[in-house]
Chain A
Amino acid sequence: MSDTMTGPVAATVPHAPGLPSALRLGWARARVETLMFFREKDSAIFVFAFPIVLLVIFGSIFAGQVEGTGISVSQVYVAGLLGAGVMTAFQGLAIGIAMDRDDGTLKRLAGTPLPRSAYFLGKAGQVLVSSVVQAAVLLAIGFTLYDLPAPEGAGGWLTFGWVALLGVTGSALLGVAASSLPRSGKSASVVVTLPFVVLQFISGVFVPISQLPDWLVRVASFFPLKWMCQGFRSVFLGEAGAALEVTGSYELDRVALVLAAWVTGGLVLCLATFRWKGRHDG
């Protein structure tokens, strides 16, 4: 730049106090994001109540056992709804970021020294809190009301852990990418929710996957939800339940592969498509 452009500036920089770290600000963002999430009482109650209501309804309608396995239908639903619960990270982020883009949050933050990573750390923190609470509530209901067996030993809990972790990470990244699809914050919940509900039906959350037509299973196999549900069934239904799977096995290696692919692919998709500005901001 030209020599006349000496700001009042350069001289003060060496003595200036340090900028707060991205990690600290990510923590601060996570705190306010979580605070805002729980203060938006209607939507917070909806997010937590929805899977519980479904579990209780389905558990009451199909009170019997899956023939020849000794597994109750409601146990199958707990495993499926856990998958759907983890994947609400997708829904929450896709809608939440679209709203942030629309209502000026992103633009305001972009004008501050907040690092972009801190914004995403904050979102991740909020989603993690709501996913953990949701999973805990579902498990508590499953254990107390539906005789859901606890995961078998350390191995069972380990599988539960990695399925949940890969699942929530992949779903969150997919959600960040999907947040660029809606034209406005208002349309976001429609644009995002409908495909999500469809995905739940074809991924074996509400309807046992072995009862779905082949082509639907093939479509569902592209997305992480089917594999998350499969992973959770392996943890909670045990060997007896494997017969209910399409291939007669839980295919945990493929579960890991597909979920890991979604984490990687989701990250690439986010980096390639993310918009800080709304479509009308130019």
Chain B
Amino acid sequence: MTQTAVRVRGLTKRYGEVRAVRGIDLSIHPGEVYAILGPNGAGKSTTVEILEGYRRRDGGEVSVLGTDPGRPTRRWRSRLGIVLQTASDAAELTVRETVRHFAAYYPDPRDPDEVLAQVGLAGKAGSRVRRLSGGQRRRVDVALGIIGRPEILFLDEPTTGFDPEARRRFWALVRSLAGDGTTIVLTTHYLDEVEALADRVSVIAAGRVVAEGPPGTLGGRAAAMTEITWTEDGAPRTLATGDPTRTVVELAARFGGEIPGLTVTRPTLEDVYLRLIKGVRDE
């Protein structure tokens, strides 16, 4: 498949003496949910802002929906949705007025009331934005991001301030958008969010991509050692193994049935992530 929603080759950006981005390559397919992980200051936000057309790059090739974001056009912008990290604007408008107003910017917007229902704000449509809670305001941001029926949606830490239920509902919304063919570029610090949503993830540290792949196999996660613990002779025992199933079967045979205090733990995405960024942090 030669079509790509986002294609980045050799991207570089420096701020004065600081080389924030040092040669990043990315390929994001249409309809994919793609997560970008990385510690603060790793070049993640700079990269995403270059893709969004907010920031100019110093070097490399970038194409988003076939257009160079360094030369954004209105037509191109109308095909993008951006959910920013912080905004406290338009506080005196009602939720519905805000969403309707933004809908007018786009050639083929979604229905404002449907969007409000999708983000779970139908009951707050008549409230002034100023009166909303932090999580509700965040959902207005999301509504404004998808109102234009974008082909690609950038989500920058979208669920900060959400309660667990709102978060699950937001995940369902992202899945349904992706199911409709919207490409989604997600940056977040919540690794469970990445695990739940992302088809692929890349980890950026010190201005470079240090690992890329599906969350389940990132950084050799699938092949990594599984930790098995149990209790034997009143003492806790631990074993790291590449063949956890065989180990458990052997233990079961040894105990003749139930294994006391058995746990089988695969390395979490967080374990893998922390290991990946540890080595490059001080570079």
Contacts and interface: CB of A to CB of B under 8 A. Distances in A.
A68 interface: no
Interface residues of A, dominant DSSP? loop
* Contact residues on B (Cβ < 8 Å of other chain), bracket: 35 or more
A61 interface: no
B65 A113 contact: no
A103 B148 contact: no
Interface string B76-92: 01111010101111101
A5 B66 contact: yes
A282 interface: yes
B157 interface: no
Contact of B101 (A16, A32, A104): A32
Given A2-B61, A100-B89, A111-B77, A8 B5 contact: yes
A155 interface: no
A35 B107 contact: no
Given A5-B7, A7-B63, A111-B80, A17 B89 contact: no
A7 B92 contact: no
Interface stretch (A18-26, A50-58, A80-88, A195-203): A18-26
A76 to B, nearest CB: 37
A108 B75 contact: no
Contacts of A16: 75, 107-108
Contacts of A25: 104-105
B188 interface: no
Contact of A7 (B5, B90, B97, B107): B5
B68 interface: yes
Given A104-B86, A110-B54, A111-B80, A6 B3 contact: yes
Given A5-B7, A6-B3, A36-B92, A108 B84 contact: yes
B102 A112 contact: yes
Contacts of B15: 282
B144 interface: yes
A1 interface: yes
Given A1-B63, A17-B108, A9 B93 contact: no
Given A16-B107, A19-B75, A112-B148, A8 B68 contact: no
Contact of A40 (B5, B92, B97): B92
Contacts of A32: 90, 93, 97, 101
A200 B110 CA distance: 49
B32 interface: no
B67 interface: yes
Interface string A114-155: 110000000000000000000000000000000000000000
Interface string A37-63: 001100000000000000000000000
B122 to A, nearest CB: 21
A1 B68 contact: yes
Interface in B1-49: 2-5, 7, 15, 30
A66 interface: no
Interface in B117-161: 128, 144, 148, 151
A4 interface: yes
B75 A35 contact: no
B106 interface: yes
A119 to B, nearest CB: 11
A104 B87 contact: yes
Contact of A113 (B30, B78, B87, B92): B78
A197 B93 CA distance: 31
B185 to A, nearest CB: 13
Nearest to B31: A8
7 contacts: A4-B4, A5-B4, A5-B7, A7-B4, A19-B74, A32-B93, A40-B92
Chain A to chain B: the 3 pairs with minimum beta-carbon distance, closest first: A7-B66, A104-B87, A105-B89
